[in-house]
Amino acid sequence: MEHGSEQLHRLAEGEALDRAGYLEMIRNRENLREEAASLACAVRRRFYGDRIYIRGLIEFTNYCRNNCYYCGIRGGNPHADRYRLTEEEILSCTDAGWELGFRTFVLQGGEDPFYTAEKLATIVRGIKERHPDCAVTLSFGEHSRQDYALWREAGADRYLLRHESINPVHYASLHPEGMSHENRLRCLRDLKELGYQVGAGFMVGSPGQTEEDLAEELCFLRDFRPEMVGIGPFVPHKDTVYAEEPAGTSELTTFLLSLIRLTLPSVLLPATTALGTIDPEGREKGILAGANVLMPNLSPVNVREKYLLYDHKICTGEEAARCIACLKERIRITGCEIVTDRGDHRASE
Ligand code: SAM
Ligand code: FES
């Protein structure tokens, strides 16, 4: 029997694994990947059938007060061409998205102080008034518990905040001194307590990340039990400290997607744009490894090229309608089907 195969089956049967168990599987991933993907898809099918949920991503600002060392829109990048969407532009993106069948809108942006807590609350209320049947997800970084509470009261349903690394030393190597690992985790706890469906996550292959770190990541997810997990490969950006670092791989990312699906059977798990960027069939491979969410871009085409977290990002020139048609075809080939309901998290335990 392959090393790690026993652990893989124990995990698929619902047993909690320890760090050593995850590490053994990660180390022997080449031999386990097919089995892991097939077990993961079977588990996903149990909760969600072959349905793949779509979220309309609106990248509403690329201004950012932070300076994450890996990120193309970090505040200190003088070459980033900055933009902000107005409230009207954001609302009209959601109107267009609604017509295309989207029932979840994800408002993502750099940490831009221009959008005060009140301003963002007004935008959330505006979306909920026009589209009461839709879920609103925010992905706007670290804020106070009070601000998160305000947005929750305004109607926000979900919040995506990747913790980036569970290892504090590794976290510190990816972020400048002003950013704290502790505060990132405080945010995730606050969001959970406030009743958001919460998404944690990390980049795969970020500079300095070890296999041991990845095993720790899986233990953290096992214990924190977020409703969503966002993982995608690290992809270098030319204007960052890590411009020369190698990108994460599609193989490792998809294997981890399978392990996450097995660890958190009913998790909402996107096959990300970054995965589609490093591998032309990355998103399909993500779905075939156990993912069940896609996040096509609804931002106006004229700003798409400015929200560049990393180099060579795909779909920056496509109209949303064309992206959706393309994704539908890609997903049909995997044997799954894109559906348009809100796709809320289903409690598994
Ligand atoms: N400001 C918000 C935050 O910090 O959560 C949302 C925007 S932030 C740009 C969204 C995510 O992009 C980050 O959590 C990070 O994991 C990812 N990201 C940033 N730079 C990246 C890169 N070079 N390669 C891959 N993903 C990257
Ligand atoms: Fe904006 Fe990291 S650079 S949050």
**Complete DSSP assignment for 301-327:** HHHHTT--SSTT-TTSS--HHHHHHHH
The per-residue pLDDT for 348 is: 62
Nearest CA to ligand 1 atom 25: 234
Cβ of residue 139 lying under 6 Å from some atom of ligand 1: yes
Ligand 1, pocket-test mutation among 66, 67, 71, most atoms within 8 A of CB: 71
The per-residue pLDDT for 231 is: 98
- In eight-state DSSP terms, residue 232 is E
Atom number in ligand 1 closest to CA 237 = 23
Q: CA 346, CA 45: separation in Å to the nearest integer?
A: 12
Q: CA 226, CA 230: separation in Å to the nearest integer?
A: 10
The per-residue pLDDT for 288 is: 98
User: Does the reported pTM lie above 0.95?
Assistant: yes
Atom number in ligand 1 closest to CA 235 = 24
Which residues on adjacent β-strands are paired with residue 104? Answer: 135
The bound ligand whose nearest atom lies closest to the alpha carbon of 141 is 1
Centre a 10 Å sphere on the Cβ of residue 177 and count the other Cβ atoms it contains.
7
Cβ of residue 161 lying under 6 Å from some atom of ligand 1: yes
Q: Helix or strand or coil: residue 183?
A: helix
Q: CA 285, CA 258: separation in Å to the nearest integer?
A: 11
Determine whether 55 is exposed, middle or buried from the number of CB atoms within 10 Å of its CB (0-12, 13-18, 19+): buried
The per-residue pLDDT for 331 is: 96
The per-residue pLDDT for 2 is: 80
- pLDDT tens-digit profile, the chain (349 residues): 788 999 999 999 999 999 999 999 999 999 999 999 999 999 999 999 999 999 999 999 999 999 999 999 999 999 999 999 999 999 999 999 999 999 999 999 999 999 999 999 999 999 999 999 999 999 999 999 999 999 999 999 999 999 999 999 999 999 999 999 999 999 999 999 999 999 999 999 999 999 999 999 999 999 999 999 999 999 999 999 999 999 999 999 999 999 999 999 999 999 999 999 999 999 999 999 999 999 999 999 999 999 999 999 999 988 888 899 999 999 999 999 999 999 999 876 4
Cβ of residue 237 lying under 6 Å from some atom of ligand 1: yes
Cβ of residue 283 lying under 6 Å from some atom of ligand 1: no
Cβ of residue 242 lying under 6 Å from some atom of ligand 1: no
